[in-house]
Amino acid sequence: MIQSNTVLSRYTTILFLGVKSNTYIINGVINVLVQNTEKQQTNQIQNNSKTNKTMEKKPMFKKIPDSPEPDQLIDRAFKKARQEHNQKSKTKEIEKIHIAADLIKHELEKIVNKYPNFDQLPEFYYDLAATTIDIDKTKKTLASINWARNMMETIISKSHKKRKTKTDLEIRKEAYGRISSILREIEPDLKHLKQTRKKLRQIPQIKNMPTIVITGYPNVGKSTILSRITSSRPKIETYPFTTKNLEIGILEKNYVKYQVIDTPGLLDRPLHKRNNIEKKAIHALKHVADSIIHVIDPTGRCGYPEDKQEKLYQEIKQTFKKTPITKAYNKKDLHKKETKEGHSISAKTGEGIEKLLEETIKPIEIEKPWEKYQK
Ligand SMILES: Nc1nc2c(ncn2[C@@H]2O[C@H](COP(=O)(O)OP(=O)(O)OP(=O)(O)O)[C@@H](O)[C@H]2O)c(=O)[nH]1
Ligand SMILES: [Mg+2]
């Protein structure tokens, strides 16, 4: 038997099939096993997790280009036309129209093409987009941009036909006037898209991993838990409603990565009364949660009574019956109350966090290959 004090491994049982007790083995061998096992686990978990089914098509919110200011775009286009046309050409004025209209056409095309097709978005992203922007208005706005893009092509093709009746200089002046007025016409659309882009870019890209969602009333310590268990650094404040978007961190346990989502605080009220910020938490629970940590602050320091927080817990439990839920009574460092169920934790000191995570992960953990041989 190989013995080394460097690493104690549970994996030896895989290496030496039939050997049932833990053994010491050398580092290099372990690394290979860890990598392989990790890969198998990830594959298996990906098949089980909700995100696999809903996140196949990734929206490209982060790739949406910024909308240009019409005046700046016009200046750029006319400047390029001035600089790049062939001065010796007999059709130089028409060439200028080509260069300017072409640049604008491509800029507008970029915006339209890089916007995700809302009708093909996975439900989770569609729902989140709908809480953040006016999707119908955005579709109409994109149609206007596309109209302006097509108009640039029309201006180019008409400039040739007009040569029969007008001088090239007249045609160019007329075309420049038309280009400017089209861009002024779509100015409100470009402004709208600028705002929309800003909002859509705040929607996080969900990874294809088992996912833990942290919920609870405002100010109970959800973000503090996320920052304790992952390297994510969400905003933490003493007042409620600090978190306004979904915040993501990655937790690694037993060589498996879990995605942890911190959500905006929820009040105990029916869905139709929830505001758009609260709805983001509901969409995360509905579409991507494989396991839930529900946080309760029994000290009341959060500003909300415990019975209301318990009611919210019951509602979430009822609504998302199929998703395992673990209850965490936070801020243990501030009180001595005994809790009948759930976990007493302190996100501030770290007390109780490990046990809470073990229980949260247990229902979504896969069977580990080495455990099979240890039985
Ligand atoms: N003493 C103590 N304070 C805590 C603990 N956890 C969080 N806090 C404090 O509680 C306040 C709220 O914490 P957050 O993590 O921002 O709470 P949240 O639930 O994310 O709040 P919202 O985003 O507004 O819903 C902050 O002042 C934290 O420092 C804890 O375990 N002990
Ligand atoms: Mg928060």
Q: Write out pLDDT tens, residues 209-220.
A: 999 999 999 999
User: What is the arithmetic mean of pLDDT over 319-339?
Assistant: 93
Distance CA 282, CA 320 (A): 10
Q: What is the pLDDT of residues 313-326, one digit of tens each?
A: 999 999 999 999 99
Q: What pLDDT sits at residue 10?
A: 28
Burial class (CB in 10 A: 0-12, 13-18, 19+), 294: buried
Ligand 1 centroid, distance to 37 Cα (angstroms): 37
DSSP at 320? T
Best mutation site among 214, 219, 333 for ligand 1 pocket (most ligand atoms within 8 Å of CB): 219
Whether ligand 1 lies within 6 angstroms of the CB of 263 is answered as no
Domains identified in the chain and CATH numbers: 8-48 (no CATH), 63-200 (1.20.120.1190), 211-374 (3.40.50.300)
Distance CA 70, CA 78 (A): 12
For tokens 């929830």, name the residue.
Answer: 274
- With pLDDT > 70 as the criterion, what percentage of the chain qualifies? 82
Q: What pLDDT sits at residue 48?
A: 54
264 vs 208, more confident: 264
Token pair for 94: 């028409």
Q: CB neighbours of 184 closer than 8 A, spacing ≥ 6?
A: 70
Ligand 2 centroid, distance to 296 Cα (angstroms): 13
- Cβ atoms of 297 and 342 within 8 Å: the answer is no
Q: What is the pLDDT of residues 60-108, one digit of tens each?
A: 788 999 999 999 999 999 999 999 988 888 899 999 999 999 999 999 9
Low-confidence winner among 1-5, 140-144, 319-323 (lowest mean pLDDT): 1-5
User: What is the arithmetic mean of pLDDT over 147-163?
Assistant: 94
Q: What pLDDT sits at residue 366?
A: 67
Q: Would the pLDDT of 159 be above 70? A: yes
Which three-class secondary structure string do you get for 70-126?
HHHHHHHHHHHHHHHCCCCCCCHHHHHHHHHHHHHHHHHHHHHHHCCCHHHCCHHHH
Q: Would the pLDDT of 19 be above 70? A: no
Ligand 1 centroid, distance to 331 Cα (angstroms): 8
- Which ligand sits closest to the CA of 334? 1
- Which ligand sits closest to the CA of 247? 2
- Cβ atoms of 208 and 55 within 8 Å: the answer is yes
Mean pLDDT of all residues in the chain?
A: 85
Distance CA 49, CA 254 (A): 17
Q: What pLDDT sits at residue 370?
A: 55
Which three-class secondary structure string do you get for 175-241?
HHHHHHHHHHHCHHHHHHHHHHHHHHCCCCCCCCCCEEEEEECCCCCHHHHHHHHCCCCCCCCCCCC
Atom of ligand 1 nearest to the CA of 224: 15
Q: What SS3 state is found at 295?
A: strand
Q: What pLDDT sits at residue 367?
A: 57
Distance CA 286, CA 322 (A): 10
Whether ligand 1 lies within 6 angstroms of the CB of 344 is answered as no
Neighbours of 335 (CB within 10 A): 17
Q: Using CA of residue 94, residue 98, residue 100, residue 101, what is the dihedral sign?
A: positive
CA angle 267, 269, 272 (to 5 degrees): 120
Q: What pLDDT sits at residue 2?
A: 34
Q: CB neighbours of 183 closer than 8 A, spacing ≥ 6?
A: 70, 73, 74, 104, 148
Whether ligand 1 lies within 6 angstroms of the CB of 265 is answered as yes
Q: What pLDDT sits at residue 30?
A: 32
Ligand 2 centroid, distance to 228 Cα (angstroms): 13
Q: What SS3 state is found at 256?
A: strand
Q: What pLDDT sits at residue 201?
A: 93
Q: What pLDDT sits at residue 272?
A: 84
Q: Would the pLDDT of 21 be above 50? A: no
Atom of ligand 1 nearest to the CA of 227: 15
Q: What pLDDT sits at residue 34?
A: 36
Query: What element of type H or E holds 266?
Result: none
Phi, psi of 211 (to 5 degrees): -125, 130
Whether ligand 1 lies within 6 angstroms of the CB of 220 is answered as yes
